[in-house]
Structure 1
Amino acid sequence: MKPLLAALALLASINHAAAGEISLFTDADYRGRPLTLREPVMNLDRIGFNDRASSAIVRSGTWEICEHKDFGGRCIVLGPGEYRMFDGFNDQASSVRELERGRGRDGYRDRDRRHDDGGWGRRGPPVELFADRRFGGEGIMLASDVHSLRSRNFNDRAGSMIVREGEWQVCEHDDYRGRCVVYGPGRHPLPRGLDGMVSSVRRVR
């Protein structure tokens, strides 16, 4: 029994260590009332912290902070580091969540594009979505945020994506809601839970 308990305790400690952590502060320079989070909060008003964040320290993970509840409206994405002042975003945060980081091969060079350059030049568009998980089938090219892929007749169809520049967030619902994953440059089959379920896409960095 003791070995089993020890194993469970070790697993719990590993999972805890892997979780992200962010601290928000009501004033600039990490002053004022602090709020430390390790889980998503869909509505900061419920814990008395709505529209109060002015600075942050991200100890681990990548976090999205949005101006409306349920991760709506304008959002900023923060990686590990210290942010002494939210320029242009002061006292506007209403929801916070850690983002999954997509894994893929970085430094992708566009060697096997299926399309003509379409005016994008040799490098191609910033993002392409494909219906097939192996970067085949129907696809669409994107250069800007799309709050609903219904407008592009590609809702709930994406199985993979190629990112050529920047970091892009794909989400399962319109307006960047629901489960979301962020991907940097590379070729990325979408994970279970998002394969064939993406409804919105936006650049976050």
Structure 2
Amino acid sequence: MVCADGNYKGRCEYIDRTVRNLGEIGLSGAISSAKRLPYDKGPRSYDIALFADGNYGGAFVGFDEGVADLSQYRFNDAASSIMINRGTWLVCEHADYRGQCELLEASTGNLASLGLNDKITSFRRYDVRREGPWRRPIPPVTGPVQDTRGGFRGEQTVFFPTPTTNGRRINDGSGAATRFCQSMGFYEAVYKAPGPVLSDVVCR
């Protein structure tokens, strides 16, 4: 193992052959530490290996089976890159394969691109033939979020079921809904229910 920084830190490469040009592995004139490792202890000997630094650098842990909680190896929330040597793997944010999960079929040198940098706590093999195509779970639907102005926020609009002014309901009339929306800081009303007073007004 040769590393760009001292004490086997920074970018590291695991070499099991003669390399005549260190530029081929991106370490020309950049090696500060090196040590011999038994061949069966290198990351390529494992089915999956997790690295503390990006681009497969720094400390690593390797496995041939899944792990439900990496805290037992003191490596939870510590991985910045993953080397996949064999198989397809589901990697997850929380223990027992919960939280945000991503399916990996190939190595990734930058877990931040998946939103999982320093966030992986569990992982397991994924058998597509037995489990079927993996689909990212749909987040649970939450209830409407109340706006500080008394309405309920959508993605682009705010809904006011019973608009009032000074504690009183507002009589409906030409332009009344838009005037209400503008008084609340919006551009216009895009919907109102029919009736003598304003109700179910949607502002944007």
Bin the TM-score by the shorter chain.
Answer: 0.3 to 0.5
**Higher normalized contact order (CA 8 Å, seq sep 6+, divided by chain length):** 1
Tell me the TM-score normalised to structure 2 length: 0.42
TM-score, with normalisation over the residues of structure 1?
A: 0.41
More strand by share: 1
